[in-house]
């Protein structure tokens, strides 16, 4: 019996949390569909309005139609970026917290599943699902965000766009999973663990967002004469100095270094939280 338990454990996790799995699948599919619709259907209507404007010599009041494209695209980016808050709530509340509160975890540990193996399955299965879904979301958003740049008014350095265009999205989700597990093991109650995990992940994101520009050395340009920076830079500081003009900024090429450093930090926090969660579990069940 004990030999079959580890094999069945992942399936048990999936079955127990099938509602969450369905919601996550619907979320990924929904955002993907929305972005495809925006870039295949909505964009045609906007382009038609644009063509009507440019075919005449006078002004056009249809520019508002740009918003039909750019606003929802922004929403998709924001939902992709901040999906980790839902992951934190799910992990703290439902995945770990609820079973510790109700005692079903303790029951499982008497059925030939060691606590460490139980937690490993609880973390590994969602981690795989989150990595797969998050990767899909990032790839789709990278395509959708770049497809019609002239219709968008945003910039790669916008807080949510920055995260949604790379592996940091997946890293934040995995970190939320680990932090949620750790808080749930510490608090052993579903609702407080839910609230604390969401708050902790929100705080981590807020701190990293605030110091994001410092994660890679910025470029500085000084000139005695006024100058223009390219439109796609992330401007940090600009203005006059005693003798001339000066600007500090991140060029668009700094996206990947900045993004990967942040991803690394978030993954390190995730690893620490996972190690702490296993340590707490070992002490609790020793």
Partner 1 sequence: MTTAPTAPAGPVTTTARPDRPARAPRQLRWLLRLHRPAVLAWTAFVLVAGAALLWLGGPLTDASAAAWKDYNACAFSERCSYDQDAIVRYKDVYTYTTSAVLVAPFLVAAWAGGSLTGRELESGTARLAWTQGVTPARWLAGRLALPAVLVAASTGLLVWLHRLAWTAGEGRIDTAKPWDDAATFYANGTVPVALALAGLCLGALEGLLLRRSLAALTTAAVVLGGLWATVHTALPHLWPTVTVVSSLRNGPSGAGIAVGEGVLTSGGDRLSAPCSSGMIPGCRTELADLGATGFYRDVHPVAHYWPLQLTASAVLLVVAALLALTAFRVLRLRTAGPAGKGGPA
Quote the CA–CA distance of 178 and 281 in Å, as a whole number. 13
Shortest approach of partner 1 to residue 161 CB, angstroms?
17
Cβ–Cβ < 8 Å for 171, 267: yes
192 binds partner 1 (CB under 8 A): yes
Residues 235-254 that bind partner 1 (CB under 8 A): 240
Residue (21 or 195) nearer to partner 1, CB: 195
Shortest approach of partner 1 to residue 56 CB, angstroms?
6
Shortest approach of partner 1 to residue 272 CB, angstroms?
26
Shortest approach of partner 1 to residue 235 CB, angstroms?
13
| SS3 sequence of 177-225 | HHHHHHHHHHHCCHHHHHHHHHHHHHHHHHHHHHCHHHHCCCEEEEECC
In the chain, beta strands by DSSP E: 219-223, 234-240, 245-250
Quote the CA–CA distance of 263 and 25 in Å, as a whole number. 24
Size of the site for partner 1 (CB under 8 A): 16
Quote the CA–CA distance of 270 and 268 in Å, as a whole number. 5
93 binds partner 1 (CB under 8 A): yes
Per-residue contact track with partner 1, 194 to 223, x per CB under 8 A?
Answer: xx----------------------------
19 binds partner 1 (CB under 8 A): yes
Residues pairing with 239 in the sheet = 246
Q: What does the binding site for partner 1 look like in residue numbers (CB under 8 A)?
A: 19, 56-61, 93-94, 98, 190-192, 194-195, 240
């Amino acid at each position: 019996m004990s030999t079959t338990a580890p094999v069945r454990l992942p399936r048990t996790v999936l079955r127990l949390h099938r509602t969450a799995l369905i919601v996550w699948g619907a979320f990924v599919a929904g955002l993907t569909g929305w972005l495809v619709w925006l870039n295949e259907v909505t964009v045609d209507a906007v382009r038609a309005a644009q063509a009507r404007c440019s075919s005449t010599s006078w002004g056009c009041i249809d520019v508002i139609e740009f918003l039909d494209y750019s606003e929802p695209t922004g929403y998709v980016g924001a939902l992709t970026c901040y999906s980790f808050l839902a992951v934190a709530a799910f992990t703290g509340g439902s995945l770990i917290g609820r079973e510790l509160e109700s005692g079903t975890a303790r029951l499982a540990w008497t059925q030939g599943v060691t606590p460490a193996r139980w937690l490993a399955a609880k973390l590994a299965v969602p981690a795989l699902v989150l990595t797969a879904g998050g990767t899909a979301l990032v790839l789709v958003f990278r395509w959708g965000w770049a497809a019609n740049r002239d219709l968008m008014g945003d910039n790669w350095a916008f807080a949510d766009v920055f995260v949604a265009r790379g592996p940091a999205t997946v890293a934040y989700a995995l970190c939320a999973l680990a932090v949620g597990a750790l808080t749930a093991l510490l608090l052993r109650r579903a609702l407080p663990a839910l609230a604390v995990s969401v708050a902790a992940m929100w705080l981590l994101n807020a701190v990293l967002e605030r110091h994001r520009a410092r994660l890679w050395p910025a470029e500085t340009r000084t000139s005695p004469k006024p100058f223009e920076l390219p439109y796609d830079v992330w401007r940090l500081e600009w203005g006059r100095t005693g003798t001339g003009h000066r600007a500090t900024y991140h060029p668009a090429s700094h996206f990947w270094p900045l993004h990967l450093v942040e991803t690394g930090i978030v993954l390190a926090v995730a690893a620490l939280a996972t190690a702490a969660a296993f340590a707490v579990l070992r002490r609790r069940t020793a």
